[in-house]
Structure 1
Amino acid sequence: MKYTEEQLNRMCRPASDSEETKLHNAEIMLRRALSASTIVSYSDYEVFGQGSYANNTNIRLNSDIDINVCYAGGFYYSLPEGRVANDYGLGNSINYSFQVFKNDIESMLVSYYGRSEIIRKNKCITVKGNTNRIQIDVVPTWKFRRYDNANNRNYIEGVVLFADDNPIKRIINYPKQHLRNGIDKNTNTLRRFKRLTRIFKNVRINMNNDNYHSNDNITSFLLECLAFNVPTETYNKNRYNCIWNDILKDAIFYLWNGTKEDSSLYDEWGEVSDLLYLMRGHKWNRRDVHESMYWMWNYLQLG
């Protein structure tokens, strides 16, 4: 085994108290910055954490903060095939757009922090970090409604954004469902799901640092989703004595085996929200995951 149980137990821990304080303070400062401007009324948007910070899967020394600023004064939507907006009581569109909202949020941040502290990126707006605050990635979004049922007006609510380099293509996510499902999975796995996610992330960083078969397509988000798809019984096999090398063996083998070309498993795996498929229509694919699990197994010397 490459790592002792003691080393793996250190890897699975969340960020230290001092790092958590920095993250918390950054969120408070961002809320203050946005509320200082009236370009967009405070009542027209919702601010909440997302990503590893909000989901408590962040690791030490790699813990920037993602904050979603979601416009609540309107929404985009999708309908079942053959249905039209009137079928769901949806009226005319409002005289506003996602692109204008993102511009407005950027202006609010520039007004508070200064132009030199703000970087507009393809999908977010970054507030630079310094000695007093951690970097904040501000993600402007709009509400999104997914109408799945052709026979009623019930919908699933998520968020949508449009990248600067492709202002037509919708990027839809469900961060609140992701948060809720992650908590449930963690509870059902004796709090081992989020700990395994942190181990995966730390191992990935170590593999990259060692130039050992690194793959940029294996992101932190993907690793969390893969850990989510590991069966609960794999985590709970030894209920009273958590042996991480054993859990790693079983989890990595399950993910490797489930991404064989002839497997029937991987195509049904979902994101943590359980509302989007993991390997259908994403940049992630079976082969990347299959190969990365093979190399992670060998790197950890689990054979």
Structure 2
Amino acid sequence: MAIPEDDLTRMAQIGAQTTSKDTYATVKLALEADGTGYSGKSYKIFLQGSYGNDTNIIKESDVDVVIRLDAIFTYDLSGLPLDQQHAFRSSHGVATYTHHHFRKDVLGALTARFGAHVHAGTKAVMIEPFYSRRKADVLVATQHRKYTWYVSDREGEHGYMLGISFHKSDGTRIINYPRQHRENLVTKNQQTSEWFKHIIRIFKNARQHMIELGHIKAGTAPSYYLEGLLYNVPTHCFGVSYVDSMVNSINWLLAADRSKFLCANEQYKLLDGNGDVTWNSQDCTTFMQGIVVLWNGW
């Protein structure tokens, strides 16, 4: 039996907004405190993840916050000819205030506000929930520039793709592109008359049911990758009804060559690339098998 339209309508609804908004405001205020080691430097605070992308469901409680230092940046010159690489390196020295200093100062600012509720994780800094405050993960990052051309630092004489760079606790550097991810989801949602993000939320709620029923393990299908998976589905698969959108999307995904899929940021392959920014194809297959079982056995 297919999942009825009424159940899909319920599963498509967005999760709590007010408490997430208040949590973000509280964390942002702590990060913007006077007297931090970075308070006089250029930085930006913004949301990423399900709440930031308007794809959160009721059972998702985390608020994902990024603080990005813009006073320094990492870079990728691999797409430039050698003369442009040389011109860039001739214009840039070594930063004295590093990502390590920034992370230490951010930890200090968060601990000053939230005390023992702050815990440094492998990637992000976790702030425990407290009363109405939701759990928050703060990613400490620096600006990353993937250069497409370079003559000088003067305006109009260079071009780059803007991303973020951060380090895991073992020192591994990770590059990602949350702005492109978010903007591409918005565009896809507009192209599908807003069906796209509704179907993402249904997939996420389906994942929760699958975990509870033991069809998949927790962690098999992170929200970021489900968004990327559905980003690859053609726009014509969305619309008319939730049942039609789900049947069309699932059938298309089962028939497609998923090895060619891109992440929603369009900078990485979705499957089997760098393990820190791409999804394991076996986990993707396990999720797809599980959602078919869930759909047929509802």
TM-score for the superposition, normalised by structure 2 = 0.89
| 1:159 has 2:156 as partner | no
The aligned residue for residue 13 of structure 2 is: 13
Equivalent-residue separation in structure 2 for 1:212 and 1:287 (angstroms): 14
Equivalent-residue separation in structure 2 for 1:188 and 1:302 (angstroms): 32
| Code of the aligned partner of 1:300 | W
1:49–1:67 CA contact under 8 A, matched in 2: yes
| Code of the aligned partner of 1:229 | N
| 1:291 has 2:293 as partner | no
Equivalent-residue separation in structure 1 for 2:145 and 2:260 (angstroms): 23
**How many residue pairs are counted as aligned between the two chains?**
286
The aligned residue for residue 52 of structure 2 is: 54
Superposition pairs for residues 186-265 of structure 1, below 5 Å? 186-214=189-217, 216-236=219-239, 241-242=240-241, 244-258=242-256, 263=257
| 1:105 has 2:106 as partner | yes
Cα 1:79–1:113 change in 2 (3 A) is same
C-alpha displacement of 1:280:
4.4
C-alpha displacement of 1:87:
2.6
Cα 1:132–1:285 change in 2 (3 A) is closer
Q: What do the CA deviations read for 1:173-197 (whole angstroms, capped 9, x no partner)?
A: 1111111111110010110111111
| Code of the aligned partner of 2:117 | E
Secondary structure of 2:141's counterpart equals strand
The aligned residue for residue 36 of structure 1 is: 33
Structure 1 unmatched runs, 5+: none
Equivalent-residue separation in structure 2 for 1:291 and 1:46 (angstroms): 38
TM-score for the superposition, normalised by structure 1 = 0.88
| 1:23 has 2:30 as partner | no
Secondary structure of 2:106's counterpart equals helix
What is the percentage of aligned positions where both structures have the same residue?
Answer: 27
Equivalent-residue separation in structure 2 for 1:279 and 1:91 (angstroms): 35
| 1:133 has 2:128 as partner | no
Equivalent-residue separation in structure 2 for 1:86 and 1:150 (angstroms): 10
Q: What do the CA deviations read for 1:108-157 (whole angstroms, capped 9, x no partner)?
A: 1111121x110110111111111131111111100000014588731111
Q: What do the CA deviations read for 1:41-63 (whole angstroms, capped 9, x no partner)?
A: 15421101111111000000213
Cα 1:302–1:209 change in 2 (3 A) is closer
| Code of the aligned partner of 2:189 | N
Cα 1:198–1:42 change in 2 (3 A) is farther
Equivalent-residue separation in structure 2 for 1:119 and 1:285 (angstroms): 28
Cα 1:214–1:110 change in 2 (3 A) is closer
C-alpha displacement of 1:37:
3.6
Secondary structure of 2:296's counterpart equals coil
* 287-296 vs 81-90, greater mean Cα deviation: 81-90
Q: What do the CA deviations read for 1:187-216 (whole angstroms, capped 9, x no partner)?
A: 101101111110111011111001124363
Structure 2 unmatched runs, 5+: 152-156
Equivalent-residue separation in structure 1 for 2:253 and 2:148 (angstroms): 30
Cα 1:90–1:58 change in 2 (3 A) is farther
